[in-house]
Amino acid sequence: QAQLIESGGGLVQAGGSLRVSCAASGRTLSGLAMGWFRQAPGKEREFVAAINWSGGSTAYANSVSGRFTISRDNVKNTVYLQMGSLKAEDTAIYYCAAGRGVRVTGDLADYAYWGQGTQVTVSS
């Protein structure tokens, strides 16, 4: 069983930047893709970004492409999401997830382990 713990959320003004982190422990996540998802009040959980084990392959939702960057440090077992040019519509709980395999994907069903989430609030 893998445990994922997100941190770094908070309140930021529109146009600002924030970095959230996801620390993994428990079973090895070696070789697995990792992803970030978010869920705003009253909305379904949606894909934000994903990255493969080496970091050489990434994917982003259209809504965040060019503003957000996903990265990972496999020595620290940590995945990061650097968010820039934040907008009020980015306000949500951000969840980290570990994939079932190596493929970079935006499908929630392809992720086996989930963190508890960290709140990101963007004030306009």
Residue 19 has what pLDDT? Answer: 98
Residue 28 has what pLDDT? Answer: 72
For residue 31, give the DSSP letter.
T
The torsion angles phi and psi of 51, rounded to 5 degrees, stand at: -145, 145
Q: And the tokens for 120?
A: 């990101």
Tokens 């620390």 correspond to what residue?
23
| Tens place of pLDDT per residue across the chain (124 aa) | 889 999 999 999 999 999 999 999 887 778 999 999 999 999 999 999 999 999 999 999 999 999 999 999 999 999 999 999 999 999 999 999 999 999 999 999 999 999 999 999 999 8
- Convert 3-14 to b/e letters by CB count within 10 Å (16 or more is b): ebebeebeebee
